[in-house]
Amino acid sequence: MADAAAPAAKQSFTALFVRRPILALVFNTLMVVAGLAAYFGVEVRELPDVDRPVVTVRTVFDGASPQTVDQELTKIIEGAVARVSGLKSVSSSSSFGQSRVTLEFSDATDLSVAANDVRDAIGRITEQLPDQADAPQIVKADSDSQPIMRLAVTSSTMTMDDLTQLVDKEITDRLASVEGVADVELYGDQEKVFRIDVDQAALAGRGLTIGDLTTALATAALDVPAGSLKSARQDIVVRATAALQTPEDFSRLIIKNRVRLSDVATVTLGPRDGTTALRSNGVQGVGLGIIRQAQSNTLNISEGVKAVVAQLSKSLPEGTRIVITSDDALFIQGAIHEVVLALVLSALIVTIVIYLFLRDWRATLIPVVTMPVALIGTLAALYMVGFSVNILTLLAIVLATGLVVDDAIVVLENIVRRRAEKIGPRAAAVLGTREVFFAVIATTATLAAVFIPLSFLPGQVGGLFREFGFVLAFSVGLSSIVALTLCPMLASRMLTKEIREEHGALGRFGELFAGFYRRTLRACLNAPFVVIVFCALFSAAAVLAFVNVKSELTPSEDRAMVMLRLTTPQGAGLDYTKDQLQRVEERLQPLRDSGDIRNIYAISGMSSQKNSGFMVLT
């Protein structure tokens, strides 16, 4: 009874879709519609999201030695954040005038919540930090993160200090507000400052010291409450203010004993001596580096930054330009485009191969139709589980292009064989599908058993291949459903004419190949020891090649970008480093004139080191 029930179940399942073609069409159309709807909602990125939840606390302490920074900043901050929930590891670095504490959280931790917890923890120890140190900056990214976009702001009408003020007030905050941006780094900025050049002889002649001058300047500008004036009709709040906003205001400042600042010093307003300098295509300006948040999307950030730049360009003063000199999203878009082209080409090649062997356009159309149904339906699964369309998932779809037609070809070939035996179209569809029903199921289960374990690999490799294995397994599973529902229905409607096996030139080639295989197989069976020795040698060669082949997480890629680092002698000033970088620019100018180089982005004074230079060529 059980043996008879199994064929009946297979026949009823297949016959249901053969008898009701509308049901088969609606069922498969729903998969296509769901996939197309998911295509417009699924996230697009370069690789699967394998970023670690990382928060960096950065604090500047001008003039402090590394030992002082470590004792007075780094240790205090480390102690404050040690009890933050979800913290996995803490690493820190203390350099001249700067402290960096990097916090890595568990994968299940929400990065925004972790950043808020860190901010609260830092807020509780702010009073323990030195007064001369800047307020700690909390960035949702690794301290060693490189900018994914670089921009340059140049002007032919504004001075560097005015340009810096424009960037600081109108551009930086707009770019930092783009979703996914962790921080905006500035290069070559020179803010306006009051410069006081002291005449030591005049100061000493009036019996004053630098300490007197420092005290007077520290207490000069004030804005404090001074009580109130009350009457029967009014209540007026009185404030004492002494704002110093111009060089003349500073010059009139009384230091001591009726000695004014103008008597012993000269006050000017001008650009501050910067710690970095930027040149974009030979023009000095202010540079901006867009740092990506951990677990954010480069493509979305690029689109947001480009929209902000387009809006800012309309409101900038005359002669001022803001341009994007490098963008990692361009490489990602190009890579995804190449994979999509490979997908289209693979589908075309599969179609041609099927036609060469079937030699009937109606028979070829059946597996060709099942291919996009299974592949497009896979996009719906990607959207439902929260995965993204990236290079690895697209490569999985390219690989699945050949796999998803296997089931349809197996079913179709058996139906065609039954039609060649003079069986009617519907009977051949039901009978041919029933005979290979469990073969299709077994093939699908076998392939899924190979690909599904990829989704459970540990570590970063597991994160990369989790979506890859899922896409392959799901697409193969959908292909079996399509092969057992849509394929027999189409065959029963399209293969109505009598099937004649006309081998032709390709058939004769197949017969010759079969004869060669027959003779080779007979020789192998007659000499099993030779076959075993050959397989052992081949396996040993494979093991040797595997041991010696180069191993790396991802292959090297040409991103159409060259990065140069320049280091001048220890103790060299910023101007000297800038001059050396300018010499390199001059050597590269012929390549830019010929169009080989589009942008030259040169930064002098990288990583708080005035003898270090960095250049990006795109």
pLDDT tens profile 314-330: 888 888 888 888 888 88
Least confident of 66-75, 158-167, 244-253, 530-539: 244-253
Is the same domain home to 63 and 42?
no
In a domain, 337, yes or no: no
Is the same domain home to 81 and 175?
yes
Is the same domain home to 72 and 210?
no
- The pLDDT, as a whole number, for residue 607 is 66
Contact 292, 332 (CB under 8 A): no
Is the same domain home to 267 and 286?
no
- The pLDDT, as a whole number, for residue 484 is 85
* DSSP calls for 353-377: HHHHHH--HHHHHHHHHHHHHHHHH
Across the chain, mean pLDDT equals 82
Is the same domain home to 30 and 58?
no
- Tokens standing for 246? 């111009």
Is the same domain home to 97 and 182?
yes
What residue spans of 20-91 are helical by DSSP H? 21-39, 66-69, 75-81
In a domain, 379, yes or no: no
Give the separation between CA 101 and CA 468, rounded to whole angstroms: 34
Pairing of strands 388-389, 43-44: parallel
pLDDT tens profile 386-420: 888 888 888 888 888 777 788 888 888 888 878 77
- The pLDDT, as a whole number, for residue 532 is 92
- The pLDDT, as a whole number, for residue 4 is 45
- The pLDDT, as a whole number, for residue 251 is 80
Q: Could you tell me what percent of the chain has a pLDDT over 90?
A: 2
Is the same domain home to 246 and 325?
no
Q: Could you tell me what percent of the chain has a pLDDT over 70?
A: 93
- The pLDDT, as a whole number, for residue 266 is 86
In a domain, 547, yes or no: no
Residue 189 pLDDT exceeds 90: no
Q: Which residues pair with 76 in a beta bridge?
A: none
Q: Which residues pair with 617 in a beta bridge?
A: 562, 600
pLDDT tens profile 131-188: 888 888 888 776 567 888 889 888 888 888 888 888 888 888 888 888 888 888 888 8
In terms of residues, how long is the chain? 618
As for how many domains the chain has, the answer is: 4
Is the same domain home to 124 and 207?
no
In a domain, 303, yes or no: yes
Q: How confident is the model at residue 540 (pLDDT cuts 50, 70, 90)?
A: very high
Is the same domain home to 292 and 398?
no
Work out the number of other CB atoms within 10 angstroms of the CB of residue 378: 27
Q: For residue 307, what is the domain's CATH number?
A: 3.30.70.1320
Contact 280, 154 (CB under 8 A): yes
Enter the DSSP assignment of 16.
H
- The pLDDT, as a whole number, for residue 6 is 47
Is the same domain home to 259 and 288?
no
Residue 272 pLDDT exceeds 70: yes
Report the helix count and the strand count for the chain, using DSSP H and E. Answer: 21, 20
For residue 583, give its domain range. Answer: 562-617
pLDDT tens profile 557-600: 777 788 888 888 877 788 888 888 888 888 888 888 888 888 88
Give the separation between CA 578 and CA 568, rounded to whole angstroms: 10
